[in-house]
Amino acid sequence: MKTFPVTEDPRVITPGLPAPLSRHLEVATLFTQEHPLILESGRSLSHVQVAYEQYGTPSPHHDNTVFVCHALTGDSHPARHDPDDIPGWWDVMVGPGRPIDTDVFHVVSANVLGGCAGTTGPLSPGVTGRPLGADFPEVTLADMVTVHRALLRHLGVGRLHSVVGGSMGGMQTLEWLLRHPGDASRFVLIGTAPRLTTDGLAAHAVGRAAIRSDPAFDGGRYVDGLFGTGPRRGLGIARMVAHLTYMSPESLEAKFGRAVQTGHEPVGPARGRYAIERYLEHQAGKFVDRFDANTYLHLTSAMDRFNAFSRPHVLSPDADPAVHVFSFASDRLFGSDVTGELLDELKATGLTEVTHYRDTTSRAGHDAFLLEVPGYLDELRAVLMPSAV
């Protein structure tokens, strides 16, 4: 197994990485032809690279490590390492004095298997040297957890202090809890679910249809190893659909209402009149510059197929970690019914410590888990402190 920092041109070692990159990114090769990764589907990958970042310092007994699982479009960079670093997607959560305090904890976060930010995925080269694209095999949330666990073994980390994740990252955390409960003393599930609702499946279906219907999709064989190619319009529409599920109706109304876009460009049916249209188009434009369409198809499909309690769990009295569930009243993607099902199914496993914190202050919707919501952050800080269990 090999580990190396990113070079001046990171695409030499891991094609398809988005820019900009943190200089703290590292890449490990965890599986080889002699010891391949066997996927849940039965297929295998003989070369798996994992992009990851580390924060803080491991304790002498290696018992202060927190693993952070990222959401659907995240990566291995949850936070700045220093003031000169690029912003992270969870700067409110990870860092000195933050709830996941890097003065206290050693933090590891990795891009998921199937991702497009350095870990092996559809942009990785196949035997011909060209990106695998449509030939990349289907992966599951369990496969992602398998790779996470292999990375931690590679880093010499034993039992974790905590596994923490929101949204798809929460699904990974739940999978980890049910299949490998002895790996950590705490599992923190934020804004997540044991399975997608039909509404969630429908949103993903529309997004994938938009990608596949883009003439530039070409059956998934559009890639040349660089971002900015392929079905940009379809991927942008997929992002617009998904973004609506991440925001609450109240937040959309408060931010945009029926405001008409002002500026020099003409408005009307051919271009669109309302400010909410311009906002969604802006979000789509940013997204297609940093994400890959085949990756989006694979990861949303993995979320769709996730059904946490459909298989027997391996929880036992010998491995009875604390489980902390966080939800948001304004979350229309994973609403109160979904959270209730999650809590009921967790308690039915026999877990003796399952807590639930429900935020009622934020109108941000599903995205609240990424934002500065004081009560939520304070409560999460409290359950993570080493004295909490």
The set of catalytic residues is: 167, 331, 366
User: 270 CB contacts (<8 Å, ≥6 apart)?
Assistant: none
Q: Which amino acid is at 224?
A: D
* Cis, bond preceding 122 (omega within 30 deg of 0): no
Characterize the bridge pairing of strands 100-101 and 94-95: parallel
Strands 106-110 and 160-166: unpaired
Report yes or no: 29 and 36 within 8 Å, Cβ to Cβ. no
229 closest CA partner among 293, 298, 137, 281: 293
- What Rg value do the Cα atoms of the chain yield, rounded? 20
Q: Which candidate, 115, 120, 108, 104, places its Cα nearest to that of 78?
A: 108
Sorted by sequence, the CB contacts under 8 Å of residue 373 that are 6+ apart come out as 328, 359, 361, 362, 364
Report whether 51 contacts 22 (CB < 8 A).
no
Yes or no: say if 37 and 44 are a contact pair by the CB < 8 Å rule.
yes
Task: Give backbone dihedrals phi and psi of 51, rounded to 5 degrees, phi first.
Answer: -90, 130
Q: Which of 230, 179, 176, 231 is nearest to 209 (CA)?
A: 231
The backbone region for 44, taken as left when phi is positive above 0, alpha when psi lies in -120 to 50, beta otherwise, is beta
What is the Cα–Cα distance from 165 to 171, expressed in whole angstroms? Answer: 8
Q: Where are the alpha helices (DSSP H) in the chain?
A: 141-154, 168-179, 198-213, 232-246, 249-255, 275-288, 293-305, 336-348, 374-384
Q: How many CB atoms are closer than 10 A to CB 20? A: 11
Name the one residue in this structure whose structure tokens are 């699982």.
69
SS3 380: helix
